[in-house]
Chains A and B, each alone.
Chain A
């Protein structure tokens, strides 16, 4: 029996349970995945793997769709300082610690990136459901998430650039993004009211997988680039259902791949502590400098501490053997964040 047939209903149950409790489903997806992997209910077949990789490209395509180059240009200046503080206080300590622990430069870079990047899904939902959008700090958090998306593109480019040929391909890729964005390519087809817009919207991110494989680029980079290219067509509402389904499968499937070693436990604890402290310090500094309020700083900390989808994706694409460590950090912080926001 195909893994996907088990994973989909289980993910659905997990989502219903979490949303009823007003909690993000991401940690539960990973936990049930781990459970099913450890007990051997799921052995990890090709279908599961394939659907999971669709989850990655659909999420990044969706993120790309939301990046509107025009609003980005007008707002990026205002958030750059906060974004840099966030990066410096969260990437650097993790990177240094990982080097001291004996990870090589590349592994250190990948894992530090995964530890640095917050979860847009969890944190934005916390702002909306917690009804925090009236406060100025909420704007800072939202734009920090956008800044992190841009940093993610840079990280993916660097990780793609390990082969010189792939690196050379990034420049034409960016040019292509610009050309498609400026042109009205396919816009007539997206406006039809038959099956064409849905089929087309499904095709583009799927093509990212194919192109990435052929050109030896990261599928994540190709997907997010294509998303930006088509961000003017208003197809996010068509993309969203695909993203939701495949991403749920991806998280559960990621969980099944984790082999948790007791020896990892202390490293997870140490890195989780660094992850939490980093966001606390960066939140505090941003609050102090940008809002002149340490109270806002603490709120920024609470609404950026949760790691999630991006950390899991980075680990799944580039550091699968360390999946246990990243999963541990994601589980810890994505549960901690929502709890902290409920404490006054």
Chain B
């Protein structure tokens, strides 16, 4: 449904009751977001970067709590060889309903769950008896290899 505009980019349009919205992915990488309210002559236009556009997209699709999982690696300049990975995961059906203790996460993989984002609240340093529910976002900390083991053993990936 995109309209090819050679030399400019690709345009996507939606006509709504209130007016017209157009998104143009320019060839330079920038994104133009147009909103033309019905009855208006001139559109409002905002230029977005790639990251901003993706953020807007996830808000609009209502998927803010299902955002992509992401990980960061932290290294401290004063402590050589210490690299810590922090990673977020969304709790899937396979492990939902169990507590951290029941899953034996620390014992089997070495990683620690440092926070859980539930629908209505965030829990920092959850106790072992905290029950995981489907859709929770957990923040996991550990070494790179431990994180990989966590993905394999607990999440079954």
Contact = CB atoms under 8 A, between A and B. Distances in A.
A139 B13 CA distance: 12
Contacts of A142: 5-8
**Range for the number of chain B residues in contact with chain A:** 10 to 19
A145 B7 contact: yes
A4 to B, nearest CB: 28
Q: Give the interface SS of chain A, mostly helix, strand, loop or mixed.
A: helix
A134 interface: yes
Nearest to A132: B43
A133 B11 CA distance: 8
Contacts of A341: none
Contact of B45 (A66, A131, A138, A139): A131
Contacts of B45: 131, 134
B95 interface: no
A131 B30 CA distance: 13
Interface in A139-155: 139, 142-143, 145-146
Contacts of B24: 133
A99 interface: no
B8 A131 contact: no
Nearest to A74: B4
A68 B20 CA distance: 28
B34 A131 contact: yes
A134 B26 contact: no
Given A131-B32, A133-B11, A133-B24, A67 B5 contact: no
Interface of A: 66-68, 71, 75, 120, 124, 127-128, 131, 133-134, 138-139, 142-143, 145-146, 236
Given A133-B24, A134-B34, 7 more contacts: A71-B4, A71-B6, A127-B8, A133-B34, A142-B6, A142-B7, A143-B5
